[in-house]
Structure 1
Amino acid sequence: MSSTTKRSCFIGIHKAPPNLSREEFEAKAGAVADAIVALPVVQKNLLKLEMITQNTLMDKHMNVFGLPEPAPTVVMSFEYESLENLDEMLKDPTLQKVFEESDDFGFRKYATAFAADVFTKVEAPGVTAGVTVIAIFACPPQFSVDQLGQKFGELMDKIAAQPTPSPLSHYSLWLQNDAVDKHLQALGYPAPKPLIVARAESEHLDHMKEICEHSEVLRLAKETVQEFGYHRDSDNPAESCCFSADVVTKISNY
């Protein structure tokens, strides 16, 4: 894999608590994001914050792969210039207060947050993403995160080549690292679960459907879902999901 990571980043994968619907959870998470970006310390130190929420555009296509129905999930992606910037933000009491207040609906309790190395397989400069798909894969006990990342990197190489040329405008794999674990746990996040995240984008919905309906992509995806125990009918299915998403940029200082 060739890395195109330009800046440091971490992501938070937030699951809704059992007592909240997807819509209620997304509204509360959105309020947290708005409160974060309103803070002067965040305006000063954060380069970009994206909030990623589920939609139903690709539900039928995702269902064909055999994965379980995704639980209500919000993903937040934070980009910053350096650890010094991150350190200044996370130590600020106004930001800490925002996260503490989010505990009334379990924003941190049901979350996994970690720094990531981003490996990009496809990047079409200047193309606006019309459709985004997010896949979150838990690490089965027989693999390390590095081994899982290697296997999914190889899988992504094969998928990115089907069909040729690829109708995708962006295709990347996010691999965990421990660069900011102490920072995030000091902010109240639990120790991160071992998992990886893939992100795919296309300019048009038909382009994404073309990928998912391609016979070779279907074969590769179904084999992988079975191999790693992600299938919804497995005896003990791993906690993994795939969904199309709406992406809202809450702050951008590029």
Structure 2
Amino acid sequence: MKYIKFLATLILTVAIFYALNNKLGAIPPLGKFLNPYTGIWQNEKDDSTTGELILNGLKNDVTVHYDEHLIPHVFAKNDLDLYRAQGYITAKHRLWQMEFQTYAAAGRLSEIIGKGTLNYDREERRRGMGYGAEQAILKMQDDAETLSYLEAYRDGVNDYINSLIPKDYPVEYKLLDYSPKPWTIKKTALLLMYMTKDLASGDDDFEYTNAMQLFGKDRFDLLFPDFFDINDPVIPKDTDWSFIDTPITPTPAEQTSIDSLTIELTEPHPD
């Protein structure tokens, strides 16, 4: 009888250890997730926005000012330092989002989420997002200055990633049970492809043209205004910029671009 109890206890102990250290469907490993030293409890703290930090590779001092909305403003004495600091700051506040979007663009979400995103991954691969990123890199490599900025941004992101230990990982990594990977220039290109798709992958030109012809321009402008009056800008117009002691680049002279000219069609264009 005592051997049966021993075996039952042993099997139960092994089962508990297995359950606490492995994902069960969409549930993260509860042992790791609830660990008081490295789990979710370590994420209940605010990001530091004060103090000094030493980043290897900077040529001069860089100042990051956080306003009352916690929006960082980066001031550097040269462009390479600016891009490196920008990479670090962006990763500090958006690392999981940045990397997750590169997986989405590359059609690799199933590596993280599982079979539920296979169709999405197939669609993005057929769309050619990865190919587009590779072609963008080839074009970027034609210009040494552009390439140097991409490398500086990459190094800044990796500076932040390398400063992390598992307890510091953003909570999303702990929920999905994986860790951040080194940032690359290709990830930057994939992120640009993702934003291109998000902002310019489709249009409503035909629909809007037909609507304007049907309702007239005045009613069309009422239904589809360029900007809604109730929207507030991210940075209010009355923002106090007195803390800036760096000369601001003058605003270029206004020029009406050819694609902003208003042309009223008598009927929808057949093409």
TM over 0.5: no
Q: Shorter-chain TM-score category?
A: under 0.3
More helix by share: 2
Higher relative contact order (CA 8 A, sep 6+): 1
